[in-house]
Chains A and B, each alone.
Chain A
Amino acid sequence: MSDHETTKKEPKVAEKRPALYLAEYETPNAVAKAAMKVRDAGYKSWDCHTPYPLHGLDEAMGLAPTKIGVISFVCGLMGLIGGALLIQYANNWDYPIIIGGKPPGSFPSMVPILFECTVLLTGFGTLFGMLHLLKLPMHNHPIFESDRFAAATDDKYFISIEVADSKFDLTKTRALLESTNPSHLELVQEEVL
């Protein structure tokens, strides 16, 4: 405990450690070809960063199809069932009301609300499912330490390989990325807290 407090109070000289390699490419073709090389070298904790979704990169990176559809479907189903239970509970079990001589459970009058509940929950499921799969919001990431990375949302294409990858090696990974002819290659460091 006391250790922690003393280290915190010391005037900090930012100590840094490598976080990832960041290779920059000028064209979609260059980044896609590089991605195939990285994929074939067997890396797992790596990614491409592009200003817009590049079609064909899924395959070049060897990504499995996304599961988000399953999340949306399950949430939509919950909306459908939840909506039905809500209507039945409110207008049939808790406080039965007979309107227009129709039985409380009459199906046609339920359709619009069931539909809306299904859509609403599908939408929530898709939004939160997507954020979960993307691990967003995450406002802090070592990749932002790079000054050049701002171009990833403009007109440059990047590949990052993180130290977390079991195959990461300062020299070998560098050699691999250099062999893909990036226009720029850097080792991004993060501060050790």
Chain B
Amino acid sequence: MSDDTPIYEIGETYLLPQGTTVHDITEAVARVTETKAPRGWWICFLPSVSLLGLMTAVIAYLLAMGIGVWGNNAPAYWGWDITNFVWWIGIGHAGTLISAILFLFRQKWRTSINRFAEAMTVMAVLCAAMFPALHTGRPWFDYYLFPIPNQMDMWPNFKSPLMWDVFAVNTYLTISVIFWFVGLIPDFATLRDRSETMLRRRIYGFLALGWRGSHRGWQHYERAYLIFAGISTPLVLSVHSVVSFDFATSVIPGWHTTIFPPYFVAGAVFSGFALVMTMMLIVRAVFGMHNLVNIRHLDLMNKFMLGTSMIVGYAYAMEFFIAWYSGNPYEQWVFLHNRAGFAQLDSLGNWGPLWWSYWAMISCNVLVPQIFWFKKCRTSIPIMFVATILINIGMWFERFVIIVTSLTQDFLPSSWGNFHPTFIDVGLYLGTFGLFLTLFLLFVRWIPMIAIAELKATLPGAHPNLHHHHGEEHDHAHASAEPAPAE
């Protein structure tokens, strides 16, 4: 049984430092929620809450004035709002990928980071959902989006990709929350059993649902967890595919392409991994989690980013190839002029006005990750920190480029225009960072940020060795590696 063998990471060294015991893991993770917040936490928390305040103010202004305060205008009816929506929802995808897909592939190194990443999924999807909800203009009527009987006696049009999006995003949010919560039940029980105050005991006790670590329970639990991983895997692939249908099913040049679903999914995973890395590097430093999330985990994450960057780079190249190969002049115009900014001057003698955003995207998403070919870069924390931030800037530009360069100059030159963001656009985008970071920081402070039970199960000697019992064996082979759960 593979579960009995010590966890080597790609055959090299132990996943966790040798001699780590089951109790050490409980201590390291639970302690964070039980002691005073380190100063670093406050240094992150105060600006985050300020940004959250900014978001509240901007939304209040937006609701009072209407969405005309955004830069969206003919012909760019979609601007930063949808860019931000796609960007945020992409961020979430890394969480599901780590928690579900890597689980199915039995990648045990994921146990150090899956809880973070799942939390980030939930929070990122919340941030994402806000943009289309506000973009409807009258968010108090957003219930029209759901198939519930309303006073107009009308139903939503289920053939619209925008409706598919409503279903995809809401299902994704719901399933992510459930998956996250199910993973947390045993860990809440750990916190409950360590509580020193009645209040903590009550709250964590309530959340743990009365978990007793019962093996009859674990049996169902493990299978349920596998099923959640099994349904989340196609779900996460579907969500960004459906988001890409919002574009791909239209006739706008630059959007109407069949490569969009896989291209969007790869981009989502790419940017999500980058943000998971950025956050993890901060949290790891603030809470001193260097043993549980070590350089090997970071190295593997960087390899993932290199891989997804190549997929995204291939998609960028393929879009150009198809624009040429299809012989469609509108498609060629969008790519060569609007995006890349060269080849043709438009009728006014201008370069494509947004060429710089295209090249920002290429530099950040395709060129920067190439440094991860080198082990030195994959294991250097300052380098990867800067790289992950650049990657996320690049991925934001990717969505901006797709949306705005296609909309501003499509078929009819007389309807061409440009897009200018307003301070409200900027404020709302920054504000969602406030929401995201505030929720995230509260999470790391009060909820076990590493999956305690799952991580324990990856320790060498964590499982009974019943299959080779030659007489009364007492684990001769494992005795040295055995974490010796208390003596």
Q: Which residues of A contact B (CB under 8 A)?
A: 26-29, 31-33, 35-36, 47-61, 63, 66, 68-69, 72, 76, 86-87, 90-91, 94-95, 97, 99-100, 102, 106, 109-110, 112-113, 115-117, 119-120, 122-124, 126-127, 129-131, 133-134, 136-141, 143-144, 149-158
- What are 27 A-B residue pairs whose CB atoms fall within 8 Å in the complex? A29-B466, A51-B452, A52-B186, A54-B463, A63-B219, A68-B220, A86-B147, A87-B158, A99-B157, A106-B159, A113-B163, A116-B171, A116-B235, A122-B227, A123-B171, A123-B175, A123-B178, A133-B217, A138-B210, A141-B210, A149-B193, A150-B193, A151-B193, A154-B193, A155-B23, A155-B485, A155-B486
Q: Which residue of chain A lies nearest to B464 when distances are taken between CB atoms in the complex? A: A32
Known: A94-B155, A110-B158. A51 touches B213 (CB 8 A): yes
B1 within 8 A of A: yes
B224 and A90 within 8 A (CB):
no
B226–chain A nearest beta-carbon distance, Å? 9
* Complex-state Cα separation, A29 to B483, whole angstroms: 13
Q: Interface residues of B toward A: which range?
A: 35 or more
Q: Beyond A51-B453, A139-B209, A153-B213, is A26–B220 a contact (Cβ under 8 Å)?
A: no
Q: Chain B interface (Cβ within 8 Å of chain A)? A: 1, 3-4, 21-23, 26, 147, 153-161, 163-164, 167-168, 171, 174-175, 178-179, 182, 185-186, 189-190, 192-194, 205-206, 209-224, 227-228, 231, 234-235, 238, 242, 245, 452-454, 456-457, 461-467, 474-475, 482, 485-487
Chain B residues with Cβ under 8 A from A158's Cβ? 213
Q: Which of B147, B219, B245, B486 lies at the interface centre, i.e. has the most chain A CB atoms within 10 A of its CB? A: B219
B153 & A113 in contact (Cβ 8 Å cutoff): no
Partner of B158, one of A55, A72, A90, A151: A90
Residues of the A chain whose Cβ atoms lie less than 8 Å from the Cβ of B220: 66, 68, 130, 133-134
A23 CB to closest chain B CB (Å) equals 14
Query: What is the distance, in angstroms, from A103's C-beta to the closest C-beta of chain B?
Result: 10
Chain A residues with CB under 8 Å of B475's CB are 27, 29
Is B206 within 8 A of A139, CB to CB? yes
Q: Is the CB of B209 within 8 A of A131?
A: yes
* In the complex with contacts A29-B475, A113-B158, A152-B212, A123-B221 CB distance below 8 A: no
A56-B216 Cα distance, complex, nearest whole Å: 13
Within 8 Å by CB of B231, from A26, A87, A117, A122, lies A122
A134 and B221 in contact, given A49-B215, A150-B194 (Cβ under 8 angstroms):
yes
Closest 7 CB pairs of A and B: A32-B464, A90-B155, A150-B193, A137-B209, A48-B215, A53-B218, A112-B164
* CB <8 Å contact, B215 and A139: no
B156 touches A90 (CB 8 A): yes
Cβ-defined partner of B216 (8 Å) among A31, A47, A154: A47
A134 to B158, CA, bound (A): 38
How far, in angstroms, from A158 to B216 measured CA to CA in the complex? 13
Question: Which residues of the partner chain B approach A99 to less than 8 Å between Cβ atoms?
Answer: 157, 159-160
Contact of A155 among B22, B209, B238 (CB under 8 A): B22
Contact among A53, A119, A133 for B215, CB-based, below 8 A: A53
Q: Which chain A positions have C-beta within 8 A of B234?
A: 115, 119
* Nearest opposing residue in chain A for B245, CB measure: A112
**For residue A154, which residues in chain B have a CB less than 8 angstroms away from its CB?**
22-23, 26, 190, 193-194
For residue B211, which residues in chain A have a CB less than 8 angstroms away from its CB? 136, 153
Contact of B463 among A56, A61, A106, A138 (CB under 8 A): A56
Query: Given the interface contacts A127-B182, A155-B23, does A49 sit within 8 Å of B157 by beta carbon?
Result: no
Complex contact B215–A28 (CB within 8 A): no
Which residues of chain A are within 8 angstroms of B212 by Cβ–Cβ distance?
47, 49, 141, 143-144, 152
User: How many Å from the CB of B386 to the closest CB on chain A?
Assistant: 37
Closest A residue to B469 using CB positions:
A33
User: Can you name the residue of chain B whose Cβ is closest to the Cβ of A28?
Assistant: B464
